[in-house]
Structure 1
Amino acid sequence: MALHVIVGKGPVGMTTAEEPVARGHRVRVLSRSGGRSTGTVEHRQVDAADADALTAAGRGAAVLYNAVNPAYHRWPVDWPPVAAALLTAAERTGAVLVTMSNLYVYGRPSGPMTPDTPLAATDVKGRVRIGMWTDALAAHEAGRVRVTEARAADFVGPQVPAAHSHLTRQLPALRKGRRAWVIGDPDARRSWAYLPDVAATLATLGTDERALGRAWHVPSAAPRSQRQALGDLAEAMSSPAHPIPPVRVSSVPWPVLRAVGLAVPMMREVLDVRHQFDQDFVIDASATTATFGLTATPWEQTVRATAEAAPVTA
């Protein structure tokens, strides 16, 4: 029974905590606010940017998971000290550092993204993520730490708060028969990462030596456009008692988003990564499947689980 330490108790951190427990390991979750420990998961209050505190809380850990989620508009300020502290803690404790990441590092794609796709991002958030991975990989190659990274598409699933999901935030409108307003081209093909698949990938990377020294993609079901995915969810939520009419989906004009961004920092940041929404944004995780045998949860199951968790009234 090994100790797995997870830094961050958001949806990724708490979903990931279930995986080591299911595999017979001890789990400790570190977060700024702490939490109430249970018989299977211990919680401690720790600042993720405090290398000394992370080291003390991570003593004896076999794996250290970075599931931190700074505010979207604060990445350039908040991520560097957190990433540096995690690297230091991993070096001091000897734990494998597994970082939860995303597809921002690739910039505008010219086709399906693989872990070997050049890290060509020019936007601020993409460059932040490139810097984090470059620093971690340099420390790994210098023999100071052992690192790996999981990169996932946009999250979906009942574990994801509506405010953090391009799909589930639309479910109340769909249930009322209203038009869904989405960012970007509603018909562009997109990959979606079911959060339990993300957790399974992270836990596997942390316990398999073959994962070290490179990044891996989280297996995702076949791409679905926002229009298709919302139609699937509406169909799954519909019932004789609560019938849902055919889904109507429209794109919010970019000038409108730009105007909103003047007052809403989050929306300003979305404009910076417009390339993720105005064309196909598809992941290729075949290397993960070939190496570790991990596969995506069938899309129908993902849709059913997400729809079943959606409130009947909103």
Structure 2
Amino acid sequence: MSTHVVIGRGATATATALLLAEAGNHVRMVSRSGLGPTHPNVELIARDANDTRALTAIATGATTVFNLAMPAYHTWPETVPPLFGSILAATEAAGADLVMLGNMYGYGPVDSVVHEDTPLAATGSKGSVRARMWTDALAAHKAGRVRVTEVRAGQFLGAGAVSVFSLFVQSAVLANTAARVPQELDLAHSFTAIGDAAAALVAVARDDRSWGRAWHAPVITTTVRAAANELAALADVAPPELAVLTDAEITELAAEDPFWAELFETKHLSHQEFVVDDSAVRDTFGLTASTLDAVLAEVVEADAAARVSVPDAGSMP
């Protein structure tokens, strides 16, 4: 039985931990809260990954450390470098391999299909810091200190996903209400299903061909409107009424919540076509993307289950 460390407790971290556990591996799942899935092969550990000494002790004896940590969105420039630096240092000290979950921010604005060798040319703060964390890890790999690889996912889809689609479109469709969205509705965009990201993370960790480079997770390329309409059909509700939030509206919202101001840096991802080439991970590891309807059917199923688990207030004593 191999031991692996998964840092984070979001939907992708949970899916990754369960894939490893169900394959018979022992998983140490680390987060500040210590929360996570219930599985006999998953050990839940409450630790701050910024504590390098404690994290090194947890990673000692592990084959792989999976970095799926995600600080608050608007804090990335301040919180990501020390956190990722701690994880890299602990992994190196423990003699484990490092698999990182990345995203597409590091590329910056791109006018063509995005490949793994597309330059990391982001100038915004969030994109720049994500690019630098990868180049720092790659430098450690090239120096022979630790083996590293990164799986870069698109905007997440699926049960438990936290993304523009899940927050602003999915929730409105399932509630059968209108949605105002900080993204264009009819432009091609490459999404990644939670389960597909987890499958890619586990696949690269098991294959010697993966180290020293980045890989794109399998993607589902569609439009916001098409995905919303498919979700509505699966949920048996009316096609949603969708509208795009203006810059002025986002600025007004940003006065109350710093999250909204961060959307301006990634406007190239949401207001022009953003299409990702995932052929490398398909051809090398035999992975394929889930179908859109299968992913959204899981969303509908999870929503229905959540509604059943919450008692009707009128029936409560």
- Using structure 1 for the length normalisation, give the TM-score: 0.93
Aligned residues of 1:231 and 1:247 also touching (Cα < 8 A): yes
What RMSD in Å do the two structures reach over aligned CA positions?
Answer: 1.7
SS at match of 1:128: helix
Equivalent residue for 1:273? 266
Aligned residues of 1:236 and 1:303 also touching (Cα < 8 A): yes
Instruction: Measure, in 2, the Cα distance between the counterparts of 1:169 and 1:157.
Output: 14
Equivalent residue for 1:13? 13
Instruction: Measure, in 2, the Cα distance between the counterparts of 1:169 and 1:110.
Output: 26
Moved over 4 A (4+): 311-314
2:194 is aligned with 1:201: no
**Among 286, 305, 310, the residue aligned to 2:298:** 305
Instruction: Measure, in 2, the Cα distance between the counterparts of 1:167 and 1:199.
Output: 18
**2:232 alignment partner AA:** A
Equivalent residue for 2:313? none
Question: % of aligned pairs identical?
Answer: 38
Shift of 1:55: 0.3
Structure 1, 267-276 or 54-63: larger mean CA deviation: 267-276
**2:210 alignment partner AA:** A
SS at match of 2:149: strand
**Among 218, 224, 227, the residue aligned to 1:226:** 224
Equivalent residue for 1:241? none
Q: 1:38 to 1:257 in 2, by over 3 A?
A: same
Equivalent residue for 1:130? 131
Equivalent residue for 2:64? 63
- 1:137-286 equivalent positions in 2, closer than 5 A: 137-161=138-162, 164-167=163-166, 169-221=168-220, 223-238=221-236, 244-286=237-279
Shift of 1:38: 4.3
Instruction: Measure, in 2, the Cα distance between the counterparts of 1:177 and 1:157.
Output: 18
Equivalent residue for 2:86? 85
Instruction: Measure, in 2, the Cα distance between the counterparts of 1:180 and 1:35.
Output: 32
Instruction: Measure, in 2, the Cα distance between the counterparts of 1:167 and 1:48.
Output: 27
Q: Deviations over 1:150-184 (max 9, x none)?
A: 000011111325xx442354334324543221112
Instruction: Measure, in 2, the Cα distance between the counterparts of 1:15 and 1:165.
Output: 20
Aligned length: 306
Q: Deviations over 1:114-139 (max 9, x none)?
A: 11111111111000011101100001
Aligned residues of 1:30 and 1:43 also touching (Cα < 8 A): yes
Q: 1:172 to 1:6 in 2, by over 3 A?
A: closer
Aligned residues of 1:258 and 1:271 also touching (Cα < 8 A): no
Shift of 1:191: 1.2
Equivalent residue for 1:98? 99
Q: 1:119 to 1:133 in 2, by over 3 A?
A: same
Aligned residues of 2:168 and 2:180 also touching (Cα < 8 A): no
Structure 1, 227-236 or 22-31: larger mean CA deviation: 22-31
Instruction: Measure, in 2, the Cα distance between the counterparts of 1:144 and 1:101.
Output: 21
Aligned residues of 1:103 and 1:153 also touching (Cα < 8 A): yes
Equivalent residue for 1:29? 29
Equivalent residue for 2:314? none
Instruction: Measure, in 1, the Cα distance between the counterparts of 2:87 and 2:119.
Output: 25
Q: 1:87 to 1:177 in 2, by over 3 A?
A: closer
**1:171 alignment partner AA:** Q
SS at match of 1:49: coil
Aligned residues of 2:21 and 2:39 also touching (Cα < 8 A): no
- Using structure 2 for the length normalisation, give the TM-score: 0.92
Aligned residues of 2:24 and 2:41 also touching (Cα < 8 A): no
**2:184 alignment partner AA:** D
Shift of 1:245: 2.1
Aligned residues of 2:105 and 2:130 also touching (Cα < 8 A): yes
**1:309 alignment partner AA:** A
Q: 1:175 to 1:201 in 2, by over 3 A?
A: closer
